[in-house]
């Protein structure tokens, strides 16, 4: 998992608090969602109803199958986390990657030409 910076950690904690999910469960869900490319997650945490999974726009399942309130809160949290994953400024490597992109743009790059190969007879 990429390292969350202070802004990212505060966003995770804020989203979790809005949905009544504890910090540890939220981090497990965030990491699982990151591994799923922001589109799906599989997790196992008591604060998330045990084993469960989530898919964007389609499904939220938790071990406590009759707990629809938890399913709705989980879905809302995953939607928030998906947006956070897309925002690189929530991660500590954000500035480093921006510096690298700027540095590579500033480098003087010239094309390389190779002579036409001679034929072997």
Share of the chain above pLDDT 90, in %: 55
Residue 21 neighbours by CB under 8 Å, 6+ apart: 29, 47, 48, 73, 74, 77
Cβ atoms 29, 48 nearer than 8 A = yes
From residue 44, alpha-carbon distances to 1, 64, 66 in Å are 17, 12, 17
Share of the chain above pLDDT 70, in %: 77
**Where in the chain are the domains?**
6-91
Q: What is residue 48's predicted lDDT score, i.e. its pLDDT?
A: 92
pLDDT in tens, 47-57: 999 999 999 88
pLDDT in tens, 12-43: 999 999 999 999 999 999 999 999 999 999 99
Residue of 39, 44, 45 lying closest to 59 (CA atoms):
39
Q: Is the pLDDT of residue 108 over 60?
A: no
54: helix, strand or coil: strand
């Amino acid at each position: 998992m990429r390292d969350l910076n202070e802004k990212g950690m505060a966003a995770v904690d804020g989203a979790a608090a809005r949905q009544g999910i504890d910090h540890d469960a939220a981090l497990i869900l965030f990491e699982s969602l990151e591994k799923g490319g922001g589109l799906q997650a599989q997790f196992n945490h008591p604060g998330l109803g045990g084993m469960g999974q989530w898919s964007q726009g389609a499904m939220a399942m938790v071990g406590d199958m009759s707990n629809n309130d938890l399913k709705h809160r989980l879905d809302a949290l995953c939607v928030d986390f998906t947006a956070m994953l897309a925002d690189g400024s929530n991660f500590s490597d954000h500035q480093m990657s921006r510096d690298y992109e700027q540095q590579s743009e500033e480098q003087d790059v010239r094309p390389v030409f190779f002579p036409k190969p001679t034929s072997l007879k």
